[in-house]
Structure 1
Amino acid sequence: MSKSNNPVTWFEIYVDDMERAKNFYEKVFDCFLEPQTTDGSFEVLQFPDAIHSNGAMGALVKHPMRRPSLEGTLVYFHSHDCAVQSAIALQNGGQLFKPKSSIGPNGFIAIIGDTEGNAIGLHSFE
């Protein structure tokens, strides 16, 4: 595998209340989540398609066998400024676990909580 290929192609963030989660993520990241067809046993709202651009594809998923968690994998979202998305998250029912902090030459991170009980990361270079 080439050093320039990012192997991450898909992620899922599990939710209990799809409408509440949809509202939170669309407001915090200023995007539209697209409903996807499933077999009917679970619900999926996909983040904007990133297959031909930077970033991994992913979705909010309401599934009877998966639960939101603070202890699971931490997905980091691109941000122009972590402090801005952190503030928007707080205004929309989220939590702040780690305020914007420097990670040296790799920029800044913050860790927020969504409305479903998940911790998610924010990453920015400003």
Structure 2
Amino acid sequence: MSASNPVVWFEIYTDDLARARAFYEAVLDVTMEPLPMPGDMDGFQMLAFPASMDNPGAGGTLCKMEGVSPGMGGTLVYFNCADCAIEAGRVEAAGGKLHQAKMSIGDYGNIALAFDTEGNMFGLHSMG
């Protein structure tokens, strides 16, 4: 493995792409855009989170694909925030469920944990 951060891409699977899009746009205060599929990938749709190839961190998408279900599966994605309490405060109004309010993780900052409208758990991280 190289010396860079290990995560370069993420995909969050959903049963209802429009519902998941509305949830993440409301909680993270972003606008997501459709990501065109290369080649023949019938039944696979993606909506991209805002990202820049020039900045550190991983880009990713919401995905809908036949035969792949969302939910608890062992992978947890953390979104970077200035203050994770702000985004955590938007979760329930957007249709999700807050699992853990902002809490300290010592020298590593703070986290909050929530479930999206599809049953996926995700994290919010901030240094402040």
Relative to the length of structure 1, the TM-score reads 0.92
Q: Cα offset for 1:27?
A: 1.1
Q: Cα offset for 1:66?
A: 1.4
Q: Deviations over 1:24-71 (max 9, x none)?
A: 111111111110122232110011123211220100000112111123
Structure 2 distance, partners of 1:20, 1:100, is: 25
Q: Cα offset for 1:2?
A: 5.2
Is 1:10 aligned to 2:9, yes or no?
yes
Q: Report the equivalent of 1:107.
A: 109
Q: Deviations over 1:72-98 (max 9, x none)?
A: 300000011111111111111111111
Equivalent of 1:117 in 99, 116, 119: 119
Aligned pairs for 1:39-58 within 5 A? 39-58=41-60
Structure 1 distance, partners of 2:118, 2:56, is: 26
What is the one-letter code of the residue matched to 2:56? N
Aligned residues: 125
Q: Report the equivalent of 1:37.
A: 36
- How much is the aligned-residue C-alpha RMSD, in angstroms? 1.3
Q: Cα offset for 1:123?
A: 0.3
Structure 1, unaligned runs of 5 or more: none
Structure 2, unaligned runs of 5 or more: none
Relative to the length of structure 2, the TM-score reads 0.91
Moved more, 76-85 or 36-45: 36-45
Runs of 4+ in 1 over 2 A off after TM superposition: none
Q: Report the equivalent of 1:66.
A: 68
Structure 1 distance, partners of 2:74, 2:67, is: 15
Structure 1 distance, partners of 2:76, 2:110, is: 15
